[in-house]
Structure 1
Amino acid sequence: MSIFVVQGGFVRISEKYSYSKYRNKESRPQGSGRVFVSPKEKFSFNPIINLPAKFWGNIGLLILIVFGLWFVFYSRFFQIKEIIIEGNSLVSSDRISKNIDLGQNIFRFNIKNTREKIIANNPLIGDVAIYRGIPNALKIVILERKPQIIWQSGDKYYLVDESGTVGREVSNSEFPDLIRIADRKNMPVHVGQHLLSESFINFSEKINRDFFSEVNIHPTGYYITETTFDPYVQTDSGFFVKFDTARDAKKQLSDLKDIIIAYRSNIHEYVDVRINGWAYYK
């Protein structure tokens, strides 16, 4: 910008005015010099990029930890793909494995709940041990209950274990070596029911094991008419024997032996050894 000054008819052009020049002069303190900033200091500093190296190390470590947790607990690499079952003979592997969903994460798989579920759904299983096989397999070891008796009610047969619990329904041809006891009242039975006492099972085993060796007569069948306290044993000699499970099995077999030796020709229907010190026959 130029300034025109009129003096005595003459026009004089003064120096060119610069706003920025005068502003800088007015705003700059007296006696101060110019301040020069190097390009490196002026443009290279960034408060985020120039954080300490330790900070970036911690960030990297956190990222690795998060990725590691995701990989271990949520990636497909550790999903259950194989189930190995051992120790089962009475319960099928398919019945056991249906309690487990394939595809679960092997580390998040709940062993305790699965074990309880398998035992609850399978009365013939006494205990279960489950082991993780990294990366994607489970091993299940089954401890089954010992089958003791085949219980007949009507036209149905049930496998009863050593504790007296009904394990499952079976056919008449299965387990030919087990004692078969028929319920003449045909009371309804369901799987998982605690049907018989352990004392009854132990008594029946002793009678079945020692009957022939004591009296030289073969038992052909066992049945219940009213209560499990009074089991009957049918013999191949045409008569049956009434026992009392509350009394000692060996003592009753001894009494039976004595009466058969003394009165064998008079026995046609039954022998009753339930009363201590007495024996009845017909």
Structure 2
Amino acid sequence: MFDKWLENQPVQQPEGDLHYEALVRSDRFDDKELMAQLGHDVARNYLNPDELAFVFDDLGAPEVAAYLRTNKFPADIKVRHGDFGEIVTAGLYRRVRRWCVPILKLRYKQTPNQAVQGTDVLAFRFRLTPPVIAVPEVKTRAYRDRRMSKEAYDSLEKVLVRLDESLHFAMVRCSERGHQFLVRHLARLLRNPGDRAVERHMVFVHDDDTWKDDIVTILAGLVTQPTELTVVKINGLKDFVARVYQAAETSAAPRRTETGEDTAA
């Protein structure tokens, strides 16, 4: 779905260590189909299969929607936008760029309007030598904010210092789901921190109407190591996110893999 929803927009590369990619909506999905697809993906990011089985079996559609609004989906607009940015980022890295994204962090929210601590998204290429970890810092804005570049830079530096905590969190979650293949790989990365390559990534999900490339110029002046920046531009972002979450309320069952299993922890 993500590779059909988004397509590359030509950009001018900044000088220095920053590589910039911009993604905009393609015309391969009509609006109704896009909302349905994104609604499924939002629901899947908040709900694991066990929760579906235990909570939703005896509920009708209105009760499911009410449960999601009360217990899972954030009412705070800022938090909801942040969650949506993480969902888009995880989908982009898993389904388009073909990284391994082993956990869906939003499933582990304690309360809907609070963020889960740690790295926004962790993505891996375990089969490379050395294994590669992408650490995307995600920022979502429905309005123009020149401070975003500095905030993203500072946040990424902080999570990189505490990367082992996020790796441990991912390992435990995978162990709980019985994903021993992933547990072994993550444990190896924790035991041998010198035998891994860490890449700096940033993803900005931004309202297309208010975006200006001076944000890229500011960020390029801050980074001192190779950094990948992806900007996902969405027209009318605030209304777009609201409609996606409305679609998610009617999508109690997450999207499944071809084998019928939800393989993310």
TM-score (norm 2): 0.24
Larger relative helix fraction: 2
Q: Which of structures 1 and 2 has the larger relative contact order (alpha carbons within 8 angstroms, sep 6+)? A: 2
Larger relative strand fraction: 1
